[in-house]
Amino acid sequence: MLKIMPVLSVVLFLSLTFSAQAKDFTPADPVVKLMPVLMDNLNLFELTPEQMQQVRSISRKSFADLEYLNAEYHLVKTELRDLLFDPKPHPAAEQKLIESLAKMEAKRLVLTVDCAEGLKAILSPEQFAELIELATF
């Protein structure tokens, strides 16, 4: 038993290290979350009326697109789960759903990048730097 303790300690340490890293970034997570941070801290940014209008425009479009995509993603993922629960194999149908999920994930990444690039264009370099600082805190 005493011989196993050092090995168990190392395994436990490594598993905790890897699990902490995994919680930082998973495949379903967005690359960055800038808009929610900006909206939660609007008072810190002293946006001009024009900036505010542009931010709202991006926020509305991004939110609507993301909500639609998330609903569609949920439906397809549920359908895939149901196929996996079925005792009979469905490799062709499963592959089709996997490809559909991959396309939706690509769309989600594009939405995230478009939102970030839009905010870069709207905010001053100082405002954007402050947003990045808040988002990575």
Average pLDDT, the chain: 84
Q: Does the residue 23 lie in any domain?
A: no
**CATH number of the domain that residue 66 is part of:** 1.20.120
Q: Does the residue 131 lie in any domain?
A: yes
Tokens of 75: 């439906």
Q: Does the residue 128 lie in any domain?
A: yes
Q: Does the residue 1 lie in any domain?
A: no
H or E element, residue 101: helix 91-122
Return the minimum-mean-pLDDT range out of 3-17, 24-38, 63-77, 85-99. 3-17
Q: Does the residue 11 lie in any domain?
A: no
Number of independent structural domains in the chain: 1
Which pTM was predicted? 0.71
Residue 58: give the domain boundaries. Answer: 32-135
Q: Read off the pLDDT of residues 26-67 as tens digits, 9 standing for 90 and up.
A: 666 777 789 999 999 999 999 999 999 999 999 999 889 999
pLDDT at 137: 77
Dihedral (Cα; 68, 72, 75, 76), 10-degree rounding = -160
Q: Does the residue 2 lie in any domain?
A: no
User: Taking 50 as the threshold, does the pLDDT of residue 10 lie above it?
Assistant: no
Q: Does the residue 42 lie in any domain?
A: yes
